[in-house]
Amino acid sequence: STLALSLAPNDVRENQIQFALERGIPATLGILATKRLPYPSRSFELAHCSRCRIDWLQRGGILLLELDRLLRPGGHFVYSSPEAYASDPENRRIWTAMSDLLKRMCWRVVAKKDQSVIWAQPKW
């Protein structure tokens, strides 16, 4: 089985966190992720953020760096954002900056469709 972490923004998605926790899936709100999360390094094989509106670029990309710490080598980050974000210029800028940062971290895209993407962390 795969050990996954579910992430959600601190807004109306609190029910997403409750849903995950009720099913035994570790979960956290994005707002809590501004500090080191209470999980050991390399704890998860997969992180997921559905209809994601977390600001992954805040404080120099600290949330993506924390996600990098939590995922095992070769782990995956499944990210999807609302379709409405596709045509919004500010959200396109955020998407581009987020993609650029993940590329600099040596992550690669393994699948992409519309506003959903699966990134893979390096296996080293």
Whole-number pLDDT of residue 27? 55
- Residue 61: φ, ψ to 5°: 85, 25
Spatial distance between the Cα atoms of 90 and 85, rounded to a whole number of angstroms: 9
Q: Is the pLDDT of residue 114 over 50?
A: yes
Q: Which CATH architecture has domain 4-121?
A: 3-Layer(aba) Sandwich (3.40)
Q: Is the pLDDT of residue 91 over 70?
A: yes
**Is the entire prediction scored with pTM above 0.85?**
no
The tens digit of pLDDT for each residue in 20-77 reads: 555 555 555 555 445 677 788 999 999 888 777 777 787 788 888 888 999 999 999 9
Structural domain boundaries in the chain: 4-121
Overall average pLDDT of the 85-93 stretch: 78
The residue count for the chain: 124
Quote the Cα angle for 29-14-22, to 5°: 95
Spatial distance between the Cα atoms of 85 and 67, rounded to a whole number of angstroms: 23
Whole-number pLDDT of residue 33? 47
Spatial distance between the Cα atoms of 119 and 98, rounded to a whole number of angstroms: 11
Task: Let me know: does 25 contact 4? Beta carbons within 8 Å.
Answer: yes
